[in-house]
């Protein structure tokens, strides 16, 4: 039945559509936006049209225009199906070439939605201002599908909130102007298959001032020293930016709050913004506090604003008289005494708040920080302020810290972020090679310098805590997190843990309060890199978050070893793994690491004497079997001190309080957790300086910082093959460059870059490999797909590899494999058939390239070099030598996986530790020279001359590589073993193994 027929009978309308809202008598007729009769095509930007999108290939919904007898508008509706694991939805963008639409005269937007009564939230988003629909400002709200049949959803424009988790162009003016509208978008529910139908999108009603005008204050919290005066700026803001039609009156009163009238001078009165007042006009109020001699906790003076003719502020502004005179505020006292004093003053509610971490996008403007006594916030991957600039990060975090100052004890927040290869969430930051590349450098000093650059850039934006480094020992290249590991051998991972000193400074923690250091996190404890393929039960993941099955001896030697080193280095926090640990013979079977008290309390805290705090992973406790109360009880009793409950932070805190009151979690356990957290906050200097120190912001992305990243990129390049000495290239050569990753800053940076999963394209400032090569060659032609003619070139360089992914999304079997794409294979085949060629593999893990190895003259494992492609060009053109070594075994085929150094059957394409060099001539003399090197290595080992010992083993390794025309199993095993021995200081044994490899080559 069509809407025209329904309107013929008011009674029928009432019975069939009871939730429809009648039009007010003085409302203008609605203005259609979409009727879905075919007037708007399925087409993407820049055309006028409807298009779908999603986090991966499976997530965009299917859409169609379906004839329906019961269509509320016309004959057809927009209908579709979806099954979304990440995010997905659809958008109607207006044509970029035509003027934007003016919606400012209307009350809101409405549409018909066919409910499925699934209880899911559906997000609806507006596109306001900017150049076009993909360069606009996003404003969002949602409705709940808790009904069946057709319902008209009406949304006043005043219900829309500025989107804080993502803005395509970093935001514009943070005002929903409505005068330049570019369309709308719908984000569909995740987690289960569903269907929907929609019809009749239109603008309705007449805008009125009480809905358009708002009264705002410049802050929600105004901390002042006792005796100081708070200055509160009160501003009128008007949607659509038109002047006031009618007066707006503001009455103010300081009654109430925890402060008494002996603490401040009461303030009460009224003022008016008259008709004709422009948007942005400000008035000022001053609240004076009084001084006495008593030591006190913080006290609040609310400034209640009663507004007539406009919306009042969402939060009542609070003047806060700062806590003063208490021992925990005395920076001259030892940290241990300050912690004890503060802990003695805290209630259970305040303690559990310290153990709770929320996502920034979940707390809105931050009022819950005060009401829930939250101890920490984080930015998940891609959760950034708008605009995504250093200044905006600092301003955002300072605004959250202000709310912490509104609490009784004024315990500052500790804000955390995943800066896993530089401050990777920040556009314009220096993006380092991922850990797999750092492992390839075999350069602990350089690893420390990359950590120092990361720390300086992170802290300069107001963030004192980094969820890095990952100390995983990757044992299967099918794992989507392989690139987060320094390598497959624990000795290599341990050697790269100098990055902890780069991040934190001195082992004692004395440097943590510096403006260029951050608290580090060793993750993911323990065994995350050893999960078995096919053991994951998380969504469509195949290996990430699965089960690690090991003997006790294997656990100690492979997965626990890096954590001993991290604790010795003074790492401040440790994060448990999502994965399960199954220790053979312990009778427990697979147990989620967030629940393993024997490992967190027993091994980490008791045996290793870890004195920092344990932070859970994102919703990590939710994977423990049982109900939520059980999850909370089990994880906290297992030794988790702070729980990352991004959006369920209230539920966690409530459950924890209930568990303590019921006696199932002891107050002693709570006090231990809170003491650990407070200790790190004091060490970070947050009580003295809670706000951002931006003095180092000018060095973010600076030439000096990028020089470190460039050096790391150069040292990470591993030369696997170099027939005829093709590399390094000469600047005089005529070079043909092809491949999907040659000119793509997003691809060469990988996942965890600007967004969680990363993305292809020009996503952040930097230098692509192609751009860097152009600086060295005036005779260079680039053809991405190798479609340009290939005649007349001296050499070809084909840059191929992976597109970005992160975590289990990148697992092999979850939409990924270890093969080059068909386009990349075609480019390699065409270029290498036409000329001498070098192939660079840009990837987070080895790629299976053995079937093409014969046609390739030079092969380079470039890993994920980050934003400084100049480092790659430096080794290609000989400004720096190739010195990198494989941090993982390069397999011949996927059937070999997992394959690792030390395996009984070991026959790789290239062994662990392999890496040709262009540094200089390889020593001559064969076995005679190796014998001499062995004797010298033994002497160096006895003398403790590590640098000499390493140099001697390197010479022996080069001799073996020079002799080997191909890699065979008898040669590969001792060759790889030698590198393990080298990393543990057994230089003579390493040379002996290399001698064995030489004989087998």
Paired strand residues for 198 = 78, 113
Which residues contact residue 949 at a Cβ distance below 8 angstroms, ignoring those fewer than 6 apart?
937, 940, 941, 982, 985, 987
- Phi first, then psi: what are they for 222, rounded to 5°? -130, 85
Cβ contact 111:152 at 8 Å: yes
**357's tokens:** 């971490």
Question: CA 946 → CA 932, 943, 983, distances in Å?
Answer: 17, 8, 10
d(C-alpha 893, C-alpha 896), whole Å: 6
Cβ contact 197:114 at 8 Å: yes
**622's tokens:** 């939710």
d(C-alpha 645, C-alpha 556), whole Å: 30
Residue 470 DSSP class: B
Going across the sheet that includes 248-253, the strands are 268-273, 248-253, 304-308
d(C-alpha 967, C-alpha 964), whole Å: 6
- Quick check: is 807 catalytic? yes
Task: State the distance between the two ends of the chain, measured CA to CA, in whole angstroms.
Answer: 82
d(C-alpha 145, C-alpha 648), whole Å: 21
Choosing from 199, 807, 811, 979, the catalytic residue is: 807
Backbone dihedral region of 412: left (phi > 0), alpha (psi from -120 to 50 degrees) or beta?
A: beta
Helix axes 987-1000, 969-983, angle to 10 degrees: 170
- Would strands 780-782 and 735-738 be described as parallel, antiparallel, or unpaired? parallel
Choosing from 617, 631, 874, 941, the catalytic residue is: 617
Q: Where are the alpha helices (DSSP H) in 334-443?
A: 335-345, 348-354, 367-371, 390-404, 435-441
Residue 981 DSSP class: H
d(C-alpha 973, C-alpha 905), whole Å: 8
**698's tokens:** 């000018």
Cβ contact 812:483 at 8 Å: no
**739's tokens:** 């491949």
- Would strands 88-93 and 49-54 be described as parallel, antiparallel, or unpaired? antiparallel
The kind and range of the H/E element at 11 are helix 10-16
Cβ contact 249:210 at 8 Å: no
**339's tokens:** 């912690």
Per DSSP, the residues of 854-921 read GG-SEEEEEE--TTBTHHHHHHHTTSS------SS-B-S-GGG-S--TT-SS---SB-TT--B--SSP
The kind and range of the H/E element at 213 are strand 213-217
Torsion of Cα atoms, 755 then 758 then 764 then 770, to 10°: 180
Q: Which long-range contacts (CB under 8 A, 24 or more apart) does 924-933 make?
A: 926/959, 926/963, 926/998, 927/995, 927/998, 927/999, 929/955, 929/959, 930/956, 930/959, 930/991, 930/994, 930/995, 930/998, 931/995, 933/991
Cβ contact 343:675 at 8 Å: yes
- Phi first, then psi: what are they for 909, rounded to 5°? -65, -45
Cβ contact 297:223 at 8 Å: no
d(C-alpha 494, C-alpha 563), whole Å: 8
Paired strand residues for 296 = 324
Catalogue the active-site residues. Answer: 617, 807
């Amino acid at each position: 039945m069509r809407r025209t027929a329904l309107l013929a009978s008011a009674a029928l309308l009432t019975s069939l559509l009871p939730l429809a809202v009648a039009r007010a008598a003085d409302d203008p007729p609605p203005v259609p936006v979409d009727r879905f009769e075919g007037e708007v095509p399925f087409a993407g930007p820049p055309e006028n049209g409807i298009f779908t999108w999603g986090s991966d290939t499976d997530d965009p919904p299917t859409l169609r225009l379906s004839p329906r007898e019961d269509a509320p508008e016309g004959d057809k509706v927009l209908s579709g199906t979806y099954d979304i694991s990440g995010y997905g939805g659809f958008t109607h963008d207006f044509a970029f070439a035509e003027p934007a639409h003016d919606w400012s005269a209307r009350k809101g937007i409405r549409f018909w939605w066919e409910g499925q009564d699934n209880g899911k939230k559906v997000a609806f988003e507006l596109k306001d201002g900017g150049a076009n629909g993909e360069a606009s400002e996003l404003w969002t709200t949602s409705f709940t599908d808790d009904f069946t049949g057709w319902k008209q959803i009406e949304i006043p424009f005043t219900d829309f909130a500025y989107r804080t988790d993502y803005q395509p162009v970093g935001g514009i003016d943070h005002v929903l102007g409505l005068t330049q509208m570019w369309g709308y978008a719908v984000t569909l529910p995740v987690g289960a298959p569903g269907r929907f139908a929609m019809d009749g999108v239109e603008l309705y009603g007449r805008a009125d001032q009480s809905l358009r005008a708002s009264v705002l204050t410049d802050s929600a919290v105004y901390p002042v020293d006792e005796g100081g005066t708070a200055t509160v700026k009160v501003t009128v803001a008007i949607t659509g930016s038109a002047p006031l039609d009618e007066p707006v009156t503001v009455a103010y009163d300081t009654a109430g709050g925890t402060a008494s009238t002996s603490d401040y001078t009461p303030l009460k009165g009224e003022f008016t913004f008259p008709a004709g007042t422009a948007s942005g006009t400000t008035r000022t109020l001053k609240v004076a506090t009084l001084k006495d001699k008593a030591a006190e906790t913080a006290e609040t003076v609310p400034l209640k604003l009663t507004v007539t003719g406009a919306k009042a502020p969402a939060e009542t502004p609070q003047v806060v008289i700062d806590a003063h005179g208490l021992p925990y505020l005395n920076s001259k006292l030892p940290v241990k005494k300050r912690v004890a004093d503060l802990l003695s003053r805290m209630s259970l509610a305040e303690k559990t708040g310290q153990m709770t971490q929320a996502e920034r996008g979940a707390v809105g403007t931050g009022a819950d920080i005060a009401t829930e006594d939250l101890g920490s916030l984080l930015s998940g991957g891609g959760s950034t302020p708008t605009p995504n600039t250093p200044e905006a990060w600092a301003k955002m975090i300072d605004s959250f810290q202000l709310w912490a100052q509104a609490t009784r004890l004024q315990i500052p927040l500790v804000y955390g972020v995943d800066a896993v290869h530089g401050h990777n969430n920040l556009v314009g930051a220096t993006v380092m090679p991922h850990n797999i590349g750092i492992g390839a450098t075999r350069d602990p000093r350089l690893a420390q310098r990359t950590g120092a650059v990361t720390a300086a850039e992170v802290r300069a934006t107001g963030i004192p805590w980094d969820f890095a480094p990952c100390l995983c020992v990757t044992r299967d290249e099918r794992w989507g997190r392989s690139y987060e590991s320094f390598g497959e051998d624990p000795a290599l991972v341990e050697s790269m843990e100098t990055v902890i000193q780069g991040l934190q400074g001195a082992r004692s923690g004395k440097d943590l309060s510096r403006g260029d250091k951050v608290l580090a996190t060793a993750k993911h404890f323990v065994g995350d890199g050893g999960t078995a393929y096919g053991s994951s039960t998380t969504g469509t993941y195949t290996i990430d978050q699965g089960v690690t099955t090991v003997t006790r001896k294997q656990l100690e030697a492979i997965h626990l070893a890096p954590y001993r080193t991290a604790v010795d280095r003074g790492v401040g926090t440790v994060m448990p793994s999502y994965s399960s640990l199954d220790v053979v013979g312990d009778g427990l079977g697979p147990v989620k690491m967030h629940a393993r008290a024997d490992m967190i309390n027993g091994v980490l805290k008791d045996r290793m004497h870890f004195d920092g705090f344990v932070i859970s992973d994102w919703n990590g406790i939710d994977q423990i079997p049982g109900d939520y109360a059980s999850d909370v009880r089990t994880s906290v009793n297992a030794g988790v001190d702070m729980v990352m409950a991004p959006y369920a932070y209230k539920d966690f805190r409530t459950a924890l309080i209930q568990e303590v009151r019921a006696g199932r979690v002891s107050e002693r356990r709570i006090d231990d957790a809170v003491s650990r957290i407070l200790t790190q906050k004091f060490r970070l200097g947050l009580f003295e300086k809670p706000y951002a120190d931006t003095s180092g912001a000018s060095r973010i992305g600076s030439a000096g910082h990028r020089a470190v990243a460039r050096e790391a990129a150069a040292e990470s390049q591993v030369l696997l093959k170099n027939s005829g000495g093709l590399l390094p290239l000469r600047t005089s050569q005529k070079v043909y460059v092809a491949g999907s990753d040659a000119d793509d800053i997003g691809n060469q940076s990988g996942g965890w870059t600007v967004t969680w999963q990363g993305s292809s394209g020009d996503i952040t400032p930097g230098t692509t490999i192609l751009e860097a090569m152009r600086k060295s060659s005036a005779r260079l032609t680039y053809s991405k797909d190798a479609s340009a003619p290939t005649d007349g070139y001296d050499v070809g360089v084909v840059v191929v590899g992976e597109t970005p992914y992160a975590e289990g999304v990148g697992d092999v079997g979850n939409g990924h494999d270890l093969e080059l794409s068909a386009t990349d294979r075609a480019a390699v085949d065409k270029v290498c058939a036409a000329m001498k060629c070098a192939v660079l593999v840009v990837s987070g893990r080895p790629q299976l390239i053995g079937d093409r190895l014969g046609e390739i003259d030079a092969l380079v494992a470039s890993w994920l070099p980050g934003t400084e492609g100049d480092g790659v060009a430096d080794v290609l053109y000989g400004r720096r030598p190739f010195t990198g070594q494989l941090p993982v075994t390069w397999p011949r085929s996927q059937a070999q996986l997992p394959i690792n150094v030390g395996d009984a059957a070991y026959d790789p394409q290239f062994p662990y530790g392999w890496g040709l060099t262009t540094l200089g001539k390889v020593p001559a003399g064969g076995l005679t020279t190796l014998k001499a090197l062995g004797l010298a290595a033994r002497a160096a080992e006895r003398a403790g001359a590590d640098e000499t010992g390493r140099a001697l083993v390197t010479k022996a390794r080069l001799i073996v590589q020079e002799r080997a025309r191909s890699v065979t199993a008898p040669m590969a095993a001792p060759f790889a073993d030698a590198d393990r021995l080298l990393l543990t200081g057994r230089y003579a044994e390493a040379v002996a193994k290399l001698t064995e490899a030489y004989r087998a080559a």
